[in-house]
Amino acid sequence: MTDDRLKMQDPRQQYPQPPFPRQPQPVPGLAQKMNPLPDHGEESYKGCGKLVNRKALITGGDSGIGRAVAIAFAREGADVAISYLDSEQSDAKEVIEIIEQAGRKAVALPGDIKDENFCRKLVTDAVESLGGLDILVNNAGAQTSHPSLGDITSEEFDKVLKTNLYALFWITQEAIPHLKPGAAIINTTSVQAYDPSQNIIDYALTKAGIVNFTKAISKQLIEKGVRVNAVAPGPFWTPLQPSGGQTQEKIEKFGSSVPLGRPGQPVEIAPVYVLLASQEASYITGEVYGITGGVGIA
């Protein structure tokens, strides 16, 4: 592994900038088919023992932000279980191999988090396989671009809410009895919670709900010694975008509207999840961290 990522350099030119080629993919998309390939820290992320022997469950851990977090957690010393859809198996296989190469236990838990029974079994299986649970990262999400509100069908609306909010509720509810003092929950919200785009109204709605949920549940769980925080990404280069999350016209210039002039790479956000999962964040709960390329959050 190299540490070029940490060398002093102009962050505007550190990673690929638009324009990007059009690259439509079927939902949910695969990282290995993106051009350019996202950087999840496969070669660059180095750990320093911040999460030794912690046990983590990450939803959507096959690609994008979830994949970068899984890699970082493993290299910080954690055992990691990841959930993902069956169709994402090829991406997930790569993540499992990287976790194991870091000398940590990797647990693959494929299934659809829109299903309540799977969500509850997901937590149970993770706890049994890992021997406990110290960190929960609710990261998986669904997003589809629509020209207008009238183009969103009830079926599509239900899919987004089930994936982004219901699953968050079911998984967190099931996990709470297993979390001991010092444990952490980290939810992935979005800059869309604060500045929603007109083409992803249903997605933005759920992300605002995640902010509210995070702040409310943090007040309950601190009484158990469990911290709850959220991370709000701006434009990040993940399969969520070319697989319908944005139009292909927007993919060509994706990330160009933020001050940094480019999309974030998943490896650039992983250290924030590491911080919030670690004991270094012992005085941080109920917070939302914006990682937006300079846009900020309100």
Catalytic residue list contains 203: yes
Strand 184-188 and strand 227-233: the pairing is: parallel
What is the C-alpha separation between 144 and 239, in angstroms, rounded?
12
* Helix (H), strand (E), coil (C) string for the chain: CCCHHHCCCCCCCCCCCCCCCCCCCCCCCCHHHCCCCCCCCCCCCCCCCCCCCCEEEEECCCCHHHHHHHHHHHHCCCEEEEEECHHHHHHHHHHHHHHHHCCCCEEEEECCCCCHHHHHHHHHHHHHHHCCCCEEEECCCCCCCCCCHHHCCHHHHHHHHHHHHHHHHHHHHHHHHHCCCCCEEEEECCHHHCCCCCCCHHHHHHHHHHHHHHHHHHHHHHHHCCEEEEEEECCECCCCHHHHHCCHHHHHCCCCCCCCCCCECHHHCHHHHHHHHCHHHCCCCCCEEEECCCCCCC
CB atoms inside a 10 Å sphere around CB 93: 12
Catalytic residue among 15, 45, 194, 203: 203
Catalytic site positions: 203
